[in-house]
Structure 1
Amino acid sequence: MKQLLIASLLALAATPLLADQPSAACAAKRARIESEISQAQAQGRQQQLAGLQKALRANQSHCTDALLAAERESDIQKATKKVAEREQKLKKAQAKGDPQKIAHQQGELDKARSDLTEAQKPLLP
């Protein structure tokens, strides 16, 4: 009985310590942001740096797995919509037969598909 009481007290004492630990997904996002901050600093991009620092503060104070999942789903939906729009524009360009417009729209579609693939990547590396 005494051992059970001690084990319970230890578990309760450790709970706040565990609550302060960020989830693996939040930690991975934080690491990505920190890497981008280093790149922005190295290249002297002050506006991007300010935005990244703001994102890092938001990650440190508000990041949850549920929030990341919702953001990811939103990003996937936006990227899917963009791919559909780019496909329509490519079809219009193909109907007109202008090789320059076709090439341009194909490039835009390729970029949109790349963005969709990036959005679909799992939260954890």
Structure 2
Amino acid sequence: MKRFGLLLLLMYIVGSKKVPKRLVDSWINMVKPFQEVCSKRFGISSELARDVLINANPPNERSYKCYGSCTFGELGYLTPHGRFDITVLMEKAPFILQEVIQGCVSEGASEDDLCEKAYKNLNCLMQGMAED
């Protein structure tokens, strides 16, 4: 049984996708002007934000979800009324494929909670940028 569990863990690690460093760096540079404000507001360290992007696996925690909402709001991608402005993200993040952005807008579209909406969208964007 232990061997089976180890095998599953190994398969997960080997099969896990990661967001390429160049895309992580581009994202970090894009959110840098307001990253400190959002980090302090929700208690998310810069290191955690970066690691989460690299591993394309955001934690299912309220503080991180709201951190995502804050960064999307500051970017102008998520409006105060809870709508995603696709053109804003396409202009500010040309490193993300337009098809990925458009597909991810539907993630969480029915959510009223801005933190949940941003979390679902961010998770989708990270999966869209991730590579084997």
Q: TM-score, with normalisation over the residues of structure 1?
A: 0.27
Higher percent of residues as helix:
1
Considering only CA atoms, is the larger Rg found in Structure 1 or Structure 2?
1
Q: TM-score, with normalisation over the residues of structure 2?
A: 0.26
